[in-house]
């Protein structure tokens, strides 16, 4: 299903990656048994088989019983509470869904920032729409979605009245903890649960990702099937078979680059519609592995756009990066009703010198750009591997989510860090609470006030 090509990873790096294989397989065995570093927070592992059917059935039941008309799905959440849904929605939908093209309901976002201007514009846009609001927060206390939820609730109440507004809200949160769960109980909102043993960035296959996608009309069964296929592959198999599994190979190749001194990994892809997928990938690896002074900075590069900007740095700047290309045998996703191919048109004058490309499909030219970039960057000292997937569709995307989650969890173990916590994220939050005057943070506030005397 998924292949890794390593033509542009040196033979030394490929050899070095083999040193990590035994440890990676043993880590995967731990994951299967929920042991070692993987003993907690691994509810995401094999989720499709353990809980996927029930999750999708609950969502289907909700959709069946939900009689409110809606033309827009608003996802209120941040980090792992929105990136999964956004990444699949954008990869699998017409890019002008919001303009009414294609057959999906649009998905828009609030609570993933604290921009007053963007919030004003979003609420302005919603005046003309009939939204359903999916508010997602595992802790139920994260500032950004909590603020956004207040804003959107006020907006809904003004537009639909108190009762009408409640009918447009569905919450996804912890089973019994946190402020959002309390709001669910108080207001009788329909709700779904983020399992306690699944962290935000590992939650795309739970209701966190699946509910908003299903509401937009995306086939979540196929996403779940794709993820199940990956888990099936790595639940069985001898140690030798697992050693050669692409998820294990990827984890080990990364470690070889790390040992060689690389400190940034760039996910390189040729479809701009994968931008949010890259965001999801960045969060997964950044929060899971970037700790204790270790890990790669996860960046991304969209081809061809970024070749005309940061491509210069990658080719000739500080030699800190290696690249992971993400390629598709067929990168076209038929998200509109019309399937069409585009080739370079014929022009008799040939003033732009494109005569040699007449009749060539754009996707094929794009593929050649990917290939020429792999070779050029490798020549410039940026080793790269190429992950090749059949196509951009629901099944392959589901497979990729599971693939990267497994590689990330096992890779965290190889690196010697806990891939399930995110202690670094808390630090700025404490400062924020202190600067905003939250009770209990007075001591920190005094220290910070000296650094920001005008606030
Ligand atoms: O992956 C994670 O755990 C984080 O990125 C969280 O998803 C993010 O901080 C949002 O947290 P919460 O869902 O509790 O609002």
Q: Can you list the alpha helix ranges (DSSP code H) found in 354-453?
A: 362-379, 394-415, 423-436, 442-451
Percent of the chain exceeding pLDDT 90 equals: 92
Residue 195 scores a pLDDT above 70? yes
* Range 298-302 average pLDDT: 98
- Provide the edge-to-edge strand list for the sheet that holds 297-302: 3-8, 384-391, 321-330, 264-269, 297-302
Q: In this predicted model, what pLDDT tens digit does every residue of 94-118 receive, in sequence order?
A: 989 998 888 899 999 999 999 999 9
Q: In this predicted model, what pLDDT tens digit does every residue of 388-432 receive, in sequence order?
A: 999 999 999 999 999 999 999 999 999 999 999 999 988 888 999
Q: Is the minimum distance from the CB of 80 to ligand 1 under 6 angstroms?
A: yes
Q: Is the minimum distance from the CB of 286 to ligand 1 under 6 angstroms?
A: no
Residue 259 is a catalytic residue: no
236 DSSP 8-state letter: S
Q: Is the minimum distance from the CB of 79 to ligand 1 under 6 angstroms?
A: yes
Give the pLDDT score at 337.
Answer: 46
Instruction: With cut-offs at 50, 70 and 90, classify the pLDDT of residue 334.
Output: low
Q: List the residue whose alpha carbon is closest to atom 3 of ligand 1.
A: 200
Residue 128 is a catalytic residue: no
Q: Is the minimum distance from the CB of 81 to ligand 1 under 6 angstroms?
A: yes
Which position has the higher pLDDT, 302 or 335? 302
Residue 453 scores a pLDDT above 70? yes
Which residue of the set 391, 429, 430, 438 is catalytic?
A: 429
Instruction: With cut-offs at 50, 70 and 90, classify the pLDDT of residue 319.
Output: very high
Looking at ligand 1, which atom is closest to the CA of residue 199? 3
* Range 317-332 average pLDDT: 94
Residue 336 scores a pLDDT above 60? no
Residue 23 is a catalytic residue: no
Q: How far is the CA of 82 from the centre of ligand 1 (A)?
A: 9
Q: Can you list the alpha helix ranges (DSSP code H) found in 333-389?
A: 362-379
Q: How far is the CA of 199 from the centre of ligand 1 (A)?
A: 7
Residue 58 scores a pLDDT above 90? yes
User: Pseudo-torsion of CA 306, 307, 308, 314, nearest 10°?
Assistant: 90
Which residue of the set 21, 90, 144, 287 is catalytic?
A: 287
Looking at ligand 1, which atom is closest to the CA of residue 136? 13
352 DSSP 8-state letter: T
Query: pTM above the 0.95 mark?
Result: yes
Give the residue, out of 114, 134, 138, with the most ligand 1 atoms within 8 A of its beta carbon, to mutate for a pocket test.
Answer: 138
Beta-strand pair 297-302/191-193:
unpaired
Instruction: Report the alpha-carbon distance of residue 162 to residue 281 in Å, rounded.
Output: 39
Which residue of the set 64, 127, 308, 339 is catalytic?
A: 308
Residue 50 scores a pLDDT above 60? yes
Q: Is the minimum distance from the CB of 139 to ligand 1 under 6 angstroms?
A: yes
Give the pLDDT score at 248.
Answer: 98
């Amino acid at each position: 299903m998924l292949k890794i090509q390593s033509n542009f990873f040196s033979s030394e790096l490929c050899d070095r990656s083999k040193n990590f294989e035994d440890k990676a397989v043993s880590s995967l065995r731990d994951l299967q048994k929920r042991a070692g570093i993987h003993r907690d927070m691994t509810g995401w592992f094999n989720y499709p088989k353990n809980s996927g059917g029930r999750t999708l059935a609950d969502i289907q039941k909700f959709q069946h019983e939900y009689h409110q008309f809606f033309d827009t799905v608003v996802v209120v959440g941040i980090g792992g509470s929105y990136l999964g849904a956004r990444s699949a929605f954008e990869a699998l939908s017409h890019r002008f869904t919001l303009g009414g093209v294609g057959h999906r309901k649009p998905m828009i976002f609030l609570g993933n920032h604290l921009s007053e201007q963007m919030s004003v514009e979003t609420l302005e846009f919603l005046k003309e729409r009939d939204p359903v609001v999916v508010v997602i927060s595992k802790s139920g206390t994260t500032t950004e979605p909590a603020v956004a939820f207040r804003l959107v609730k006020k907006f809904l109440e003004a537009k639909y009245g108190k009762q009408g507004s409640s009918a447009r809200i569905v919450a996804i949160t912890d089973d019994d903890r946190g402020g959002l769960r309390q709001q669910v109980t108080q207001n009788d909102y329909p709700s779904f649960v983020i399992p306690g043993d699944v962290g935000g960035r590992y939650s795309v296959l739970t209701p966190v990702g699946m509910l908003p996608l299903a509401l937009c009309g995306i086939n979540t069964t196929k996403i779940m099937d794709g993820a199940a296929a990956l888990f099936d592959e790595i639940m069985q198999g001898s140690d030798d078979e697992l050693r050669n599994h692409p998820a294990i190979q990827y984890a080990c190749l990364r470690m070889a680059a790390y040992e060689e001194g690389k400190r940034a990994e760039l996910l390189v892809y040729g479809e701009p519609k994968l931008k949010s997928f890259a965001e999801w990938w960045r969060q997964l690896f950044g929060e899971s592995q970037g700790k204790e002074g270790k890990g790669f900075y996860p960046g991304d590069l969209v081809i061809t756009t970024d070749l005309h900007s940061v491509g210069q740095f990658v080719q000739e700047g500080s030699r800190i990066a290696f690249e992971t290309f993400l390629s598709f045998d067929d990168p076209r996703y038929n998200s509109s009703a019309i399937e069409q191919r585009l080739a370079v048109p014929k022009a008799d004058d040939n003033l732009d010198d494109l005569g040699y490309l007449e009749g060539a499909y754009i996707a094929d030219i794009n593929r050649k750009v990917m290939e020429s970039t792999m070779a050029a960057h490798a020549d410039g000292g940026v080793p790269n591997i190429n992950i090749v997937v059949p196509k951009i569709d629901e099944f392959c995307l589901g497979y990729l989510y599971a693939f990267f989650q497994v590689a990330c969890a096992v890779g965290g173990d190889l690196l010697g860090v806990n891939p399930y916590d995110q202690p670094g994220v808390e630090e700025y939050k404490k400062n924020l609470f202190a600067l905003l005057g939250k009770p209990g943070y007075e001591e920190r506030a005094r220290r910070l006030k000296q650094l920001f005397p005008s606030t």
